[in-house]
Amino acid sequence: MTNDNDERGRVPDWLLERFAAGALPPAQARDVQDRLGRDPGGQERLAALARSNEEILAAHPPARVAAAVRQRAASPRSARPARSLMALSMVAMAAAALILVLRPKDLRPPAGPPDPRQESGEDRIKGVSGPATLRVYRKAARGAERLADGASARPGDQLQLAYLARGQRFGAVVSVDGAGQVTYHLPEKGARAVALQPGGEVTLPDSYQLDAAPRFERFCLITSDRPFETDGLADTVRGTRPAPAGTEVFTFTVRKE
């Protein structure tokens, strides 16, 4: 049997990175997940890796790097720089992939093909199956602009949140910014998830103004078929505590300019 522990008995860094990127077979991923749960510093190492990759992604947004690659590749005299940019693009894309999956045990993405019901540009990270969705709009002079997951915004932008329950009965909406500050949007007060309205898109009662906290604002819609406590969700959205049992978590990230 192969010993996958490092000299200190921990999951080695190379295996941790493959686990975070979803590159392990299901059985091995479950084994690593269990070992991280027993490792007192396991979740902290995952969180540190997530922060590092978020910084890489913020410095080198994949869309911007990819555009630069296409522009350089179109010039026959820029073959060498294009190759360098392509390498940078691959690093940025890999960082983006890692950020989406670096979550605690109950927030890891599902194995297998993506859910065909998932809408383009929306990142659904699940604890159990379910299609509930969170949407984010930015108030503009001509109305509301729907943002894509990962879109850029500035401090002072006024955002409006909305959800589609799609069969889920109870939920909460919580956000965390780059400084670790947590805001409860639904419910704003109270210790239990609220009953979600069925049907189409439901707008939250109050809009939200972005502050000057650095890097990002990550909004999380936590849903379940049963009522659940919301007290621990601050740690859940910070990535230091699993989501409540039987819930699913849909995340939407806005990047700060």
Supply the pLDDT for residue 114: 35
Which residues, in sequence order, are bridge partners of residue 153?
256
pTM greater than the 0.85 cutoff:
no
Supply the pLDDT for residue 69: 46
Supply the pLDDT for residue 257: 84
Residue scoring higher pLDDT (84 or 177): 177
Question: Per-residue confidence at 16, pLDDT binned at 50, 70, 90?
Answer: confident
**Cis before 187 (ω within 30):** yes
Question: Per-residue confidence at 127, pLDDT binned at 50, 70, 90?
Answer: very low
Q: What is the mean predicted confidence (pLDDT) over 181-199?
A: 92
Q: Give 223-250 pLDDT, tens digit per residue.
A: 999 999 998 999 999 989 999 999 999 9
Question: Per-residue confidence at 106, pLDDT binned at 50, 70, 90?
Answer: very low
Supply the pLDDT for residue 85: 45
Supply the pLDDT for residue 104: 37
Cα–Cα distance for residue pair 250/89, rounded to 1 Å: 26
Q: What is the mean predicted confidence (pLDDT) over 120-125?
A: 38
Q: Give 49-79 pLDDT, tens digit per residue.
A: 767 666 666 665 555 655 554 565 555 544 4
Cα–Cα distance for residue pair 168/235, rounded to 1 Å: 22
Question: At residue 213, does pLDDT exceed 80?
Answer: yes
Question: Per-residue confidence at 34, pLDDT binned at 50, 70, 90?
Answer: confident
Supply the pLDDT for residue 61: 57
Cβ burial 43-82 (10 Å sphere, 16+ → b, else e): bebbbebbeebbebbbebebeebbebbeebeeeeeeeeeb
Question: At residue 123, does pLDDT exceed 80?
Answer: no
Question: Per-residue confidence at 112, pLDDT binned at 50, 70, 90?
Answer: very low
Q: Which of 81-85, 111-115, 185-189, 197-201 has the least mean pLDDT?
A: 111-115
Supply the pLDDT for residue 103: 39
Q: Please give the domain boundaries of the chain with CATH numbers for all domains.
A: 13-102 (no CATH), 123-256 (2.60.40)
